[in-house]
Structure 1
Amino acid sequence: LAGCRLFTPGELARHRGGPGEPGLYLALLGRVYDVSSGRRHYEPGAPYSGFAGRDASRAFVTGDYSEAGLVDDVSDLSLSEMLTLQNWLSFYEKNYECVGKVIGRFYGKDGLPTSALTQVEAMITKGLEADKEQLKEKKKFPPCNTEWSSARGSRFWCSQTSGGVSRDWTGVPRKLYKPGAKEPHCVCVRTTGPPSDPAPDNPTHRDRGDLDHPNLEEYTGCPPLAITC
């Protein structure tokens, strides 16, 4: 963004795409984009006209398009909401030209990032890492297929694509208890080979895959190696 223009909020507000106005701009996390090519979305009277001429970062996530919601305060958003914001940022970077920064919450008068922006970026990084962890966990313990009928109650079963995770093993259903989660959920567990995360102090394993993982519990009345419970 070197050498790009700095806007005061007042200057940015004059870029709402109305008659005689110099352009159609919006800001996201303090970065100003020229959205003239998407005029039908943002011009006066269009569905997203509230975003024009200001930084309404918060509303991209909350969907609150009232005056009170069209603001740039994102300090209380969750990690997954921050990732939604990051997706929007990628969208604007790809589809529109960044023409400057707006002085305020995210950039100072010198055009340098403020601590508020640094905080948002740290949360986005943390969210991306949490996503990666979740994906790793899902590959290790893919969710079961489940079905419920009034006649038979619940049925859980594993296949090589259950939980949307393609793999070369099927696994058996187990209850996985996650720290902080109220209820366990059904996952498919590998039954052969070394555990996914072997104990460093115990190099020997019993070729039982992840069956001995401490957070797992068998389903009552279901044979330990049945693929359907």
Structure 2
Amino acid sequence: MLQPLVLGAACAAAALLLSCGLAGWRGPEAAPPTPRVFSKAELSRYTGGAGSPGLYLAVLGQVFDVGRGRKHYGPGGSYHFFTGRDASRAFVSGDFTEPGLVDDVSGLSPIEMLSLHEWLTFYKREYIFRGKLAGTYYDANGEPTQALIDAELVTEQGRKLKTESELENKVFPPCNSEWTSGRGGRVWCSTHSGGIERNWVGVPRKLYKAGSKNYRCVCVRTDGPASNQPESAHNRGDLDNPALREYPGCQSLSDSCVVVDE
């Protein structure tokens, strides 16, 4: 008597699957292909043309399938020159000639390397990772080379510089600026100059880097303690910072200055 009951239960389960639209369920989807190690010759075939096995590019030795962006990366597309190769340097140099479409990033600044890493993050997010490219950044077994380690160290320097710059911008936000042929140049401060929102306006000053003749226009607080001495009874804000210079001909506490030739 147990067998019919079991069979009936099985039929009931099947009917439930059908009623729920699950009869066509086939289990978990197949796992994506295992990432592989490409040679430069192999990758050069992945340019999306006739007979090409796909549409791939590499950034810092990581290979991505950009087929979903064919209108941009396919033959005739505005970024087609990136495909079938690792042209890491061109992502930040803007040199899209053959000599510039290379993977050599030696000599790029930390900030440029950080920008390149942001491109790498973009491809990881938007496209399919297919493997690694043997050569500059990975060996034939897909293991990192010293060149990749060096590139990552420079990128980390870029992160630190960016953090320092963001902190400096909070203390010394960039000025607003304009130039017209009739009136010349002008810089001024507001509660949102330089895209930095705050509850004070400040006055324009030239901020110099140590040992450099170059400067940038910043807005400086004029009251309260100095930023590097928050417990001080000082009440001139950051006006006494030794890296600051006033604009010639501008009133010391004016929030707007005409830029004159020096």
TM over 0.5, yes or no?
yes
- The interval holding the TM-score normalised by the smaller chain is 0.7 to 0.9
Determine which of 73, 87, 91 is the counterpart of 2:104: 73
Going from structure 1 to structure 2, the CA distance change for 1:189 and 1:57 (only over 3 Å counts) comes to same
Cα deviation code 1:50-103 (max 9, x no counterpart): 222211112222233332222111112222321221221122111110010011
Name the Cα RMSD after superposition: 2.4
2:98 alignment partner, SS class:
coil
2:236 maps to what in 1? 208
1:128 maps to what in 2? 159
Structure 1 residue 91 corresponds to structure 2 residue 122: yes
| Number of aligned residues | 224
Instruction: State how 1:8-47 maps to structure 2 within 5 Å.
Output: 8-47=39-78
2:141 maps to what in 1? 110
TM-score of the two chains, using structure 1 as the length reference: 0.86
Letter of the structure 2 residue corresponding to residue 178 of structure 1? K
Q: Which has the higher contact order (CA 8 A, sep 6+)?
A: 1
Letter of the structure 1 residue corresponding to residue 242 of structure 2? P
Q: Which moved more, 1:40-49 or 1:21-30?
A: 40-49
Q: Which moved more, 1:126-135 or 1:177-186?
A: 177-186
Structure 1 residues without counterparts, runs of 5 or longer: none
Partners of 2:190 and 2:84 in 1: how far apart? 52
Going from structure 1 to structure 2, the CA distance change for 1:214 and 1:41 (only over 3 Å counts) comes to same
Confirm or deny: 8 A CA contact 1:29 1:57 kept in the other structure. yes
Confirm or deny: 8 A CA contact 1:195 1:205 kept in the other structure. no
TM-score of the two chains, using structure 2 as the length reference: 0.76
Going from structure 1 to structure 2, the CA distance change for 1:218 and 1:93 (only over 3 Å counts) comes to same
- Quote the offset at 1:216 in angstroms: 1.8
Going from structure 1 to structure 2, the CA distance change for 1:165 and 1:99 (only over 3 Å counts) comes to same
Structure 2 residues without counterparts, runs of 5 or longer: 1-33, 258-262
Determine which of 158, 171, 174 is the counterpart of 1:143: 174
Going from structure 1 to structure 2, the CA distance change for 1:176 and 1:44 (only over 3 Å counts) comes to closer
Letter of the structure 2 residue corresponding to residue 73 of structure 1? D
